[in-house]
Amino acid sequence: MKTIKGPALFLAQFASDEAPFDSWDSITKWAREVGYDGVQVPSWDTRLIDLDKAATSQTYCDEWKGQAADNGITVTELSTHLQGQLVAVHPAYDLGFDGFATPSVHGDPKARQVWAVDQVKKALDASARLGLTAQATFSGALAWPYVYPWPQRPAGLVEAAFDELAARWRPILDHADGCGVDLCYEIHPGEDLHDGVTFEMFLERVKNHARAKMLYDPSHYVLQCLDYLDNIDIYRDVIGMFHVKDAEFNPTGRQGVYGGYQSWVDRAGRFRSLGDGQVDFGAVFSKMAANDFDGWAVVEWECALKHPEDGAREGAQFVRDHIIRVTPHAFDDFAAGGTDDAMNKRMLGL
């Protein structure tokens, strides 16, 4: 058993043009002030990191990481969620996802994909320079428009989509291996890797690549009515990252999993600040500890109701209260009577 590290905070939902969220120095000071030991960093946000410099300059990485350390903060991982999304985009989503990329590749899906792959690789290079061992990302999606089979999906459609997805990611995974960094795919609706079955389909096609790992976030499983506790036991060997995020699912006679195109606050399934939803985090943290997860518990604030700064502050304490400092010995060791092979045989009547 291992004690999880934390709490840490994913900064993507907090970075803005307003202080203290507008610079690396000030946001790490703020994170420490509200109770965090670490931060997960969105690599696309130039207010927080210069990815080009981080990928090539050890001096920049040392100074950037050192500034966080001076503020009492550890950098836990880099994230390439937005860039990873663009590794595989179905044409139906081209316009919607163009905003994730640099303007120079807008309207050019092939150039956008090349840019995205380069971005993910640069983040891997930066992670290696920073001494990090895991990176968060999305898989992107080619098959997602066909998730509900109407009209009937042509035979081989999904297989072809996953073959192509794996072909696009395999060179990136090899690059990750050269950097000594795991790629942790957040299992998330909207991605082709959105549950355990689809992750397995991908893993099979990349030949069980040692760097292909899973980012576990129970909130996305609550909204799919998936057993998020059983999932931990099934995938214990490939869970490389942990987002601590809450959610609730309250179906009615009017709507269920699909949400009826409603805004987040009006959906049957919605994300909530930690402790305000339905995730049994006592059980989640117990399983993570028992299964030897030794990464960080990273709060990802997403809530339809609560102010983010309140959610962040409450979330830090919530995680501290749930991290289990694992025991170094069995609780009944005090009653141990000593033993040896001969005694064991006598006790068995042998």
- 285-328 pLDDT tens trace: 999 999 999 999 999 999 999 999 999 999 999 999 999 998 88
Model-level pTM?
0.95
Phi and psi of 308, rounded to 5°?
-60, -35
Phi and psi of 186, rounded to 5°?
-70, 125
- CATH number for the 5-347 domain, one of 3.40.50.1100, 3.20.20.150, 3.40.47.10, 3.40.50.1370? 3.20.20.150
b/e string for 275-313 if b means 16 or more Cβ within 10 A? Answer: ebbebebeebbebbbeeebebbbbbbbbbbebebeebbe
Neighbours of 341 (CB within 10 A): 7
Write the single-letter amino acid at 161.
A
Using the predicted structure, report yes or no on whether residue 334 has a pLDDT greater than 70: no
What sign does the dihedral 295-235-134-101 (CA atoms) show?
A: negative
Mean pLDDT of 179-207: 98
3-state secondary structure of 120: helix
CB 245 within 8 A of CB 221: no
Write the single-letter amino acid at 309.
E
Using the predicted structure, report yes or no on whether residue 192 has a pLDDT greater than 90: yes
Residues with Cβ within 8 Å of 32's Cβ and at least 6 positions away in sequence, in order, are 71, 72, 73
Per-residue confidence (pLDDT) for residue 321, from 0 to 100: 98
Q: Is 346 exposed, middle or buried (0-12, 13-18, 19+ CB in 10 A)?
A: exposed
Percent of the chain with pLDDT over 70: 98
E-only strand ranges, 131-238: 134-137, 182-186, 212-216
Please spell the DSSP secondary structure of 81-101, one letter per residue. Answer: HHHHHTTSB-GGGHHHHGGGS
3-state secondary structure of 314: helix
pLDDT, one tens digit per residue, over 73-92 is: 999 999 999 999 999 999 99
Mean pLDDT of 102-122: 98
Mean pLDDT of 335-350: 83
Using the predicted structure, report yes or no on whether residue 113 has a pLDDT greater than 70: yes
Using the predicted structure, report yes or no on whether residue 346 has a pLDDT greater than 90: no
Using the predicted structure, report yes or no on whether residue 335 has a pLDDT greater than 70: no
Q: Which residue has the tokens 């507008």?
A: 22
Using the predicted structure, report yes or no on whether residue 332 has a pLDDT greater than 70: no
Mean pLDDT of 23-38: 98
What is the distance between the alpha carbons of residues 134 and 294, in angstroms, rounded to a whole number?
12
Per-residue confidence (pLDDT) for residue 317, from 0 to 100: 98
Q: Which of 147, 284, 162, 308 is nearest to 216 (CA)?
A: 284
What is the distance between the alpha carbons of residues 315 and 34, in angstroms, rounded to a whole number?
9
